[in-house]
């Protein structure tokens, strides 16, 4: 005896309901958003944005931002 096979839509609906019950709506939405497909071409955009910067330049900016957050 086997269980009837659910459609993908039925399975998705049931899974979302289970997540809502267990995690709540806000955390379910946060969880599901990680699977959304982005848009654009990150590699091309990154190359254009950081053409004139070295890795050291980027690291320095990150460290400055962290220090600013830490010390206000």
Whole-number Å distance between alpha carbons of 67 and 64: 5
pLDDT digits (tens, 9 = 90+) for 7-53: 999 999 999 999 999 999 999 999 999 888 878 898 999 888 888 99
Whole-number Å distance between alpha carbons of 21 and 23: 6
pTM of the model: 0.46
Quickly state the pLDDT bin for 1 (edges 50, 70, 90): low
pLDDT of residue 32: 92
Distances (CA, A) of 32 to 6, 11, 35, 50, 67: 21, 15, 6, 31, 32
Quickly state the pLDDT bin for 71 (edges 50, 70, 90): confident
């Amino acid at each position: 005896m086997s269980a009837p096979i659910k459609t993908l839509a039925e399975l998705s609906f049931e899974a979302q309901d289970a997540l809502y019950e267990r995690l709540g709506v806000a955390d379910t939405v946060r969880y599901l958003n990680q699977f959304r497909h982005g848009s654009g071409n990150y590699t091309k955009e990154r190359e254009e944005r950081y053409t004139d910067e070295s890795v050291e330049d980027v690291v320095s900016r990150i460290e400055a931002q962290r220090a600013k957050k830490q010390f206000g």
